[in-house]
Amino acid sequence: MKEKVVLAYSGGLDTTAIIPWLKEHFDYDVVCCCIDVGQGSETDGLEERALSTGASKCYILDVIDEFADEYIAPCVQADAVYENKYLLGTSMARPLIAKKLVEVARKEGAVAICHGATGKGNDQVRFELGIKALAPDLKIIAPWRMTNVWTMKSREEEMEYCRQHGIHLPFSTESSYSRDRNLWHISHEGLDLEDPANVPDYSHLLVLGVTPEQAPDEDEAVSITFEKGVATAINGEKMKLSDIIRKLNELGGKHGIGIADIVENRVVGMKSRGVYETPGGTILMEAHRQLEELILDRDTFEVKKALGSKFASIVYEGKWFTPLREAIQAFMESTQQYVTGEVKFRLYKGNIIKAGTTSPYSMYSETLASFTTGDLYNHHDAEGFINLFGLPLKVRALRMASLEKKED
């Protein structure tokens, strides 16, 4: 029997060309594996396409709920945002895909896993770190880095290679943006976006929604209920998290929410420009922040903010299966014990406008916050606090004044 390789399969041009290439250069039995993390109709007809292209088997695994509950939810709880803007849509999905590829490889007795990520991108790092952490014995094949045997350098050359191998391609010869879609977002890269001086052609670009200018002229009221930092209902209707994200994507897309034009620092050292649509995720994370404002104390909030940034970097760099990610996530989960309540807001032309937040665990005290004197707060106590809190400043000022006097 031939040795088996598991191919991370999307059905696109790259992974279509890789199937005959693996058979030709390695004589492998190719087992395709498509991980459905919410890319919608992109999975339609993939099994038939893979088998007709030369694969011996094709798995299509629906892991949407696992993606929402075990990967998206922790990132929302951590308020994990990379470089102030990127909500980690692609980054969050890659470790789960790597995990499922390993599971299929074990089931099939494969000796290797192959992916079609380019040698310049982040995904090669994310896939391979996940595979190394979970199955260090498996070989990893990355065709785009194997320039001695993967000689194709363009989309046209890949198409010609497929034609030479008798493969019918249901693809247009027109160039298109490089896109990655899942339950959380869709990203757009390439073409005119490669020059940061260019204004994106949103009329041609957007998939999940419209621009704020095209959004309705009337706002829309929405409420989200959270339990321990996880969304459980929209407008009072209980739903599983994946359905909440779908509903928020619909609402956010309608009102022009969550469009981000970003130049980011890739793991491999270069800058890249992309446009991200994250309508539901943008709403969900903002609602979660509004609820935390009422509940978390100042010291916990400050530490959580710093660790949230670190958590985002860990996820972005593909280090999901690490002790550090587990430790920070454990901290985050402990902070979410009382993050329960309801957040109300209005969506209007790209804006998320506060409309009231309530929680049984709110630390906000109207009595303390008001300007009237209450039993818990004596205005005179502030004088002693300020004296002690400002003592280092005063000591330094006196010392500097003394030194200046001596110099004079």
The active-site residue out of 10, 14, 126, 179 is 14
Q: Which residues lie across from 203 on neighbouring strands?
A: none
As beta bridge partners, residue 310 has none
Residue (of 13, 10, 272) closest to 154 by Cα position: 13
- CA 282 – CA 199 distance, rounded (Å): 22
**Structure token digits, residue 401:** 């004044």
Catalytic option among 91, 123, 126, 223: 123
CA dist 198 and 196 (Å) reads 5
Identity at 390, one-letter amino acid code? G
Radius of gyration of the chain (CA): 26
Tell me, rounded to whole angstroms, the distance of Cα 317 from its chain centroid.
Answer: 12
Amino acid at 323: P
Q: Is 94 a known active-site residue? A: yes
Catalytic residue among 10, 36, 49, 94: 94
Three-class HEC string of 90-121: HHHHHHHHHHHHHHHHHHHCCCEEECCCCCCC
Q: Is 91 considered catalytic here?
A: no
Among 65, 69, 155, 178, the one annotated catalytic: 178
> How many whole angstroms separate alpha carbon 72 and alpha carbon 95?
12
178 tagged catalytic: yes
Active site residues: 14, 94, 123, 178
